[in-house]
Amino acid sequence: MRVPLRWLSDYIDLPTTDPDELAHALAMLGHKVEGIEEVGADWTGVVVGRVERIDPHPDADRVRVTHVDLGDGDLHQIICGAWNFDTGAVVPVAVPGAVLAGGFEIARRRIRGVDSHGMICSERELGLGDDQTGIMVLAANTPLGVPLASVLDLPDVVFDLEITNNRPDAMSMVGVARELAAWFRVPYHRPEVTLVTVPGAPTVAITISAPDGCDRFVAREIRNVTVGPSPLWMRERLRRAGMRPISNAVDVTNYVMLELGQPLHAFDADRIAGDRLEVRWANDGETLTTLDGTVRPLTPADLVIVDGDGPTSLAAVMGGARSEVSHTTSRVLMEAASWHPATVMYTSRRHQLRSEASTRFERGVDPNLGPDANARACRLLAEIGGGMVLEDVVDVLANEAHRVTVTLPIGEVQRILGDRYTLDTAAETLRRLELDVVADGDALEATVPTFRPDLTRPADLIEELARLADFDTFPETLPTGPAGGLTADQRRLRRMHDLMRGLGWHQAINLPFVTTEELGLFTDGDVHEVVSVRNPLRDEQARLRQSLLPGLLRNVRDNRNRGASRVAMFETGRVFYARPWVEDTRVPDQPMRLAAVASGPFGDGGVEGSTAPADATVAFAVVAAIGEQMGVAMERRPARLPGLHQTRRRVRAERSHRCRRARSRFAAGPTGSHPDDPDLDLSSRRLRPVVRRPRCAPGGGAGGGHCVRVRSGRICDGVRRVPARGRGGAVGGDSLPSARR
């Protein structure tokens, strides 16, 4: 939220105006300042003048020669190229010696034989806005000769605050003033809401038929309003706060929303059909054309305001086009209502309509703010748009707002915050936040104002006490746990990482999403047990991986495309299957896996200089090294996977001898429960050291230890994603393909 310091200062006498000090106070209150913007401080020498006479330029068609009164009794001749004003216009004038934004200096000039003593400025030239339609025209009663800066309340500083979701009360100038008042221990004041009224009552009858969505609806009628532009001061404040001025009737609602935090809506009372407004849930099939011109289909979950002709406003989110105020409006019905946050959130999300109003209602606007905010808006509109406020107010109260009382034992405060608070100091602090506090033994009975919906429990009040104590003042103490350390599984994963790194492999981390095609590459038979994302942002993120290999293959392709000749990457991570997980059967199976892919030269033991390509033997070697390091059995058998070349048993005598020996040392029993999985399972269940001599034949059913299968193969042509010459190989844990390139 943007908070201009000048505006804020209407409600509080701040002990400092130093922007950095204020930013620190706001940050320590929990309202982080994301930016401090200085406005209008980048020009000098601009004063207010009135155009008294306009002559044509004798020698130029596109400019005129104006004679401007700067309040000093003289007429100053200034040539001007804008045509959006007439004699009598009060305008900003940069006099000779003035310096405009960007260091542009104004001097006496001669333009086609005519002297020009300065420049009449546009908003854009003064850095006040983007309006390029012409020069800036000020109110006719602006005193002549005064510096424009003082007319505009400049220079000013605008704080951009991040207001957290739990603090709707701070989403206004008064709300921020209230916070700073508590911090600095100074008073703050609310704006004037007393009204001068004429006898009369609104013609429109109001009913709330949806008390489960609307607590209160306050309305007043203002007659004989002249809708037109707001005065400069209001437009300027709105702009500085980040809102676009529209017309006085609309600007007043936005102004009061920013000032007090209560969103309002101005209806053209003459365009309310049947002189009645009703708050109700929409019916299927109903539509509403909102202010932005969009026709929106409604559902029974949308809360609407209807008149005799049906929906005329999307409650709390956006008004309807049908009852919008326009330049012909003279009778305004000013609405200030209280809506339920969940309803507003649903409707604004469903219609993708987020407004300043919906943002505030979603978080919770003080249900008792309506009457004051309504009066304030009516007062302002009567002031700037003429008109008379009718005496009678319509205040429909569907649900009364009750104040919450919280019992806070002081021991509870001290348990969390230490001994810094006593019963008395805690009470004093909470009172600064406008809670009504009485002591009851060792506890405080604190009654919370309705603008603080976030305070309902002792913990909420402890947070307030911590906040106002200033987090900076808390000492630092260091508790330590009874015994730190890694589990066996965690140590194993680290050793695996270190081993792979030492063997020359780089770790990759991929998004765990794959395409349907990729899913099928490393699965025997049909793709099954796929876990899908129900609401993917993009189709590529709709399916979860069952193997780490597709991601790694993409990494190899990308790196080769970037010119890398040798790529060796591994990844450890979870894969997902739509079947119960052994560690918690309520969630899908998600074992940790390891896989690796290499392409390009990969010499024995990682020694460069060998031009030997990464092939199946590299894969065998890595898996064997893992087996050796982890002390687990590794056995190789032929296998078929669509992503791998067909394999067969083809071992030379010497290798076969080694295998036999290995088998006699390690291989002991059946493979894991899911032998089709292509990656190496890292769960301790599967990867467990074999500690006793085997008693069974390979592939047999007798249980001794476990063994991890090793498959060999080459990546099929169809899977070759690496558009590069040379050879490459892929290692997939217990599946060990090699790719020929």
Partner 1 sequence: MDLADTLTDLRNRTSVAAGEASTLEGLDTVETEALGARSPIAEARRRLGSLDAEERTAAGRAIQETAAAIQGVIAVRRAELERAVRTARIAAEAIDVTLDYRTLRTGGLHPVQQVIDEVAEIFVGLGYKVAEGPEAELSWYNFDALNTPPDHPGRLESDTMYLDYGRPEDGMLLRAHTSPIQARYMEQHQPPVYVVAPGKAYRNDTIDASHLPVFHQIEGLAVDESITFSDLKGTLAEFARQYFGPKTTVRMRPHYFPFTEPSAELDVSCFNCDGGSAACRVCKGTGWLEMLGCGIVDPNVFLAVGYDPNEVSGFAFGVGVERLAMVRHGIDSIRHFIDNDLRFLAQFPG
CB of 18 to partner 1, least distance (A): 16
CB of 570 to partner 1, least distance (A): 8
28 lies in the binding site for partner 1 (CB under 8 A):
yes
Rounded to 5 degrees, φ, ψ at 375 are -65, -40
CB of 484 to partner 1, least distance (A): 4
In whole angstroms, give the CA distance from residue 43 to residue 476.
48
In whole angstroms, give the CA distance from residue 175 to residue 454.
14
418 lies in the binding site for partner 1 (CB under 8 A):
yes
The CB density around residue 399, as the number of other CB atoms within 10 Å, is 14
Smaller CB separation from partner 1, 531 or 641 = 531
Both tokens of 696, joined, read 């069974």
Residues 227-256 that bind partner 1 (CB under 8 A): none
Q: Which of 308, 536, 631, 718 binds partner 1 (CB under 8 A)?
A: 536
Q: Which of 18, 192, 424, 583 binds partner 1 (CB under 8 A)?
A: 583
In whole angstroms, give the CA distance from residue 407 to residue 413.
11
In whole angstroms, give the CA distance from residue 731 to residue 714.
10
Q: 86 and 127 in contact (C-beta within 8 Å)? A: no
The CB density around residue 50, as the number of other CB atoms within 10 Å, is 20
Tell whether the torsion through CA atoms of 689, 628, 636 and 740 is positive or negative. Answer: positive
Q: 571 and 507 in contact (C-beta within 8 Å)? A: yes
58 lies in the binding site for partner 1 (CB under 8 A):
no
Long-range contacts of 535-540 (CB under 8 A, 24+ apart): 540/513, 540/515
Q: Which of 87, 165, 516, 673 binds partner 1 (CB under 8 A)?
A: 165
Both tokens of 83, joined, read 């045509």
Stretch that binds partner 1, among 80-88, 199-207, 391-399, 569-577 (CB under 8 A): 569-577
725 lies in the binding site for partner 1 (CB under 8 A):
no
432 lies in the binding site for partner 1 (CB under 8 A):
no
Q: Which of 106, 121, 569, 715 binds partner 1 (CB under 8 A)?
A: 569
Residues 621-650 that bind partner 1 (CB under 8 A): none
415 lies in the binding site for partner 1 (CB under 8 A):
yes
CB of 129 to partner 1, least distance (A): 27
Smaller CB separation from partner 1, 165 or 407 = 165
Residues 482-521 that bind partner 1 (CB under 8 A): 482-487, 490, 494, 497, 500-512
Stretch that binds partner 1, among 320-328, 604-612, 710-718, 732-740 (CB under 8 A): 604-612
Residues 119-158 that bind partner 1 (CB under 8 A): none
CB of 685 to partner 1, least distance (A): 15
Cα pseudo-dihedral 84, 88, 94, 97, rounded to 10: 140
582 lies in the binding site for partner 1 (CB under 8 A):
no
282 lies in the binding site for partner 1 (CB under 8 A):
no
HSE-up (13 A, CA, CB side) for residue 248: 25
Cα pseudo-dihedral 52, 57, 58, 59, rounded to 10: 170
Which segments within 615-727 are labelled E, that is strand?
Answer: 633-638, 680-681, 707-714
Stretch that binds partner 1, among 47-55, 146-154, 188-196, 461-469 (CB under 8 A): 461-469
In whole angstroms, give the CA distance from residue 610 to residue 504.
14
612 lies in the binding site for partner 1 (CB under 8 A):
no
Q: Which of 11, 85, 576, 666 binds partner 1 (CB under 8 A)?
A: 576
In whole angstroms, give the CA distance from residue 681 to residue 690.
16
Phi-psi region of 612 (alpha: psi -120 to 50; beta: other; left: phi over 0): beta
584 lies in the binding site for partner 1 (CB under 8 A):
yes
Question: Total residues at the site for partner 1 (CB under 8 A)?
Answer: 92
Stretch that binds partner 1, among 71-79, 379-387, 567-575, 704-712 (CB under 8 A): 567-575
In whole angstroms, give the CA distance from residue 693 to residue 672.
19
CB of 707 to partner 1, least distance (A): 26
Q: Which of 203, 286, 581, 625 binds partner 1 (CB under 8 A)?
A: 581
Q: Which of 38, 275, 608, 628 binds partner 1 (CB under 8 A)?
A: 608
Q: What stretch of H or E contains 662? A: helix 653-665
341 lies in the binding site for partner 1 (CB under 8 A):
yes
HSE-up (13 A, CA, CB side) for residue 641: 31
Residues 284-323 that bind partner 1 (CB under 8 A): none
- Hey, is 580 helix, strand or coil? strand
